[in-house]
Amino acid sequence: MADGYNPGDIIIDTLTVTSSRGTLDLAASFVSSSIYESIFTPGIVGDIVVLDTDDQLGQLKLTGDETVQMSFKAPGGESANYTFALHALDDLKSTGSQKSKMYTLKVVSEEALHAKTNYIQKSYNSTISDMVKDIHQNYMKSQKPLDVEETKGKQKIIIGHHNPFKAADVVRRRGISSENKSSAFLFFETRSGGNQTFKFTTIEKLFKGDIVKSFQQSDAINSSIMNKTDNNIISYEVPKQFSATDRIETGGKRRVTTFDIRTHTYKTKDITTDSTQYTTGGNGSYDSSTFKSKYFDGAKIPPQAMIPVDTSQRPVTNIPEQTADQQSFLSALMQNAMKIRVYGDANLKAGDMVNAAIPNKLSTTNNSDTDPLLSGKFLVSRIHHEIGGAGERPRYTCVMELLKGNLEEGV
C-alpha cells in the first residue's frame, strides 16, 4: 500500500463514455460501482453510478451504441482496465439540485451484445478447442485474447441456431482435456495483465496456478508483525462445508455403459474413482474408509452413464473413458466453499488462486493455529469489485467466492 493511503482507498484512473457523437470524461463524476467477474459466466458485468452535472450525459444523447472505458486501482497497485458496452441507463435520480442528476450505467462485455444478434447454424468436425476458437473469433466478434487448453479427439457437432454463448456452452461440455483427466471445462471472461481476456480451460488447470495473494484473518488488525493490514480478511462466511449427498451421487464407483450402433451390443465397465487423483485446493479426501465401505464399496449397481461407443464411423471422442473421472471431480469440487471480504485489490480476478488462513476459534489470545477446514489454497470462482461512495470506509473491497474441494489433509 502506497504511503499516505489506507487499505480500501481507490484511485479512478479513467471513466469515459464514447460514441460517434463524442467522448465524455466522467472520472470526476464517479460516485460508486460494482464489477462482477465469474468463472461460470462468459462475460463481465457492472453497474457504475455517476453524478451528471450540467446535463453532460443528456447532451451526449445516450442511446445504447456507446462504449464505456473504466480503469481503477488501489494506491500503489496494478490497474484493472475494462471496456464495456452500455446496455441500459437506469435508476435516474434527482439530487435536489436543478443542475445535476444521478445515473446508473449498466454495462456488459461487448461480446454479450453481439451474441444477441449473431446466431450460429453450423456443423463442426474438429476438436472442441478449435470450435471454441471459431465461436470466439467469428461469432462473438471478440478482439480480446483467448487462452485455450487444448482438447483431444475430433467430434461431429451440429449447432442448430444457438447464440455464441449457448454454443460455447454446448461444446465445452463435451471437451476432453489433453492434460487434465477431470476434463471439467469452463469458458469465461477474466483479466490478464490488467486487461480483459477469455479463457477456455479446465477447473483443474486453474487449481494448478500460482498463488497470487495470501490473506489472513486476525482478531485484532496488526496483532502480529507478520500480518499486513491490506491482507486482512474483514469477514467470512461458509455457505457449504461439505455435502455427503453430492459425493455419493456423483463420486465413488461409476458404471459406464457403451452401446455399439453397428453390432447393437452393450458393454459395461465399473470404475472406482479416487478424488485425490485430481488437483484441487487440498491433497486429502473427505471420503473416510468408513464412508467408502458404507456407500461406495457395497453398491451392487452403481450410478450409470450411457454413452454411444466410438467407432470408425464416429470420431473418437474419448468421452466414455473420461466420464467417471469428470463426474467424480465435480463431486469433490462441491465441497468446502467459502466467501471472504477483503480490502480492494484490482489485481484480483476470477480464476486466481489465493491462500486464506482462518484462525481456530480457541480464544482471543491464542489464534496462531489455523482452522484446517477453512484454510489453505482456494480458487476464486467469483469476485465482486465493490467501490462505495466517497464517505465509506473502507471504500473499495472485494467479495470473493472461493472453492477448495478436497481437504488440506485426508481424514
Comparison of pLDDT for 16 and 194, the residue scoring more: 16
Total Cβ atoms within 10 A of residue 12: 16
Query: Looking up cell 449498466, which residue turns up?
Result: 106
Rounded to an integer, the average pLDDT of 219-247 is 73
Rounded to an integer, the average pLDDT of 199-217 is 95
Res 239: pLDDT: 83
Res. 377 pLDDT band, cuts 50 70 90: very high
CA–CA dist 126, 183 (Å, integer)? 17
Q: What is the pTM of this model?
A: 0.88
- Average per-residue pLDDT for the chain: 86
Radius of gyration of the chain (CA): 24
pLDDT digits (tens, 9 = 90+) for 143-167: 999 999 999 988 899 999 999 999 9
Spell out the residues 6+ positions from residue 350 whose beta carbon is closer than 8 angstroms to its own. 37, 38, 39, 188, 190, 380, 381, 382, 383
Res 73: pLDDT: 94
Spell out the residues 6+ positions from residue 117 whose beta carbon is closer than 8 angstroms to its own. none
Rounded to an integer, the average pLDDT of 20-26 is 90
CA–CA dist 128, 145 (Å, integer)? 18
Res 175: pLDDT: 93
Res. 66 pLDDT band, cuts 50 70 90: very high
Res. 374 pLDDT band, cuts 50 70 90: confident
Residue 84 in contact with residue 108, Cβ under 8 Å?
A: yes
Res. 274 pLDDT band, cuts 50 70 90: confident
- Is residue 225 predicted with pLDDT exceeding 50? no
Res 105: pLDDT: 93
Domains and CATH numbers, the chain: 114-203 (3.55.50.10), 206-242+335-403 (2.40.30.150), 244-328 (no CATH)
Res 193: pLDDT: 86
Total Cβ atoms within 10 A of residue 353: 18
- Is residue 400 predicted with pLDDT exceeding 70? yes
- Is residue 396 predicted with pLDDT exceeding 80? yes
Q: What is the largest CA-CA distance in the chain?
A: 80
Res 2: pLDDT: 61
- For residues 62-96, one letter each, b for 16 or more C-beta atoms within 10 angstroms of the residue's C-beta and e for the rest, the string is beeebebbbbbbbeebeebbbbbbbbeeeeeeeee
- Is residue 324 predicted with pLDDT exceeding 50? yes
- Is residue 92 predicted with pLDDT exceeding 50? yes
Res. 226 pLDDT band, cuts 50 70 90: very low
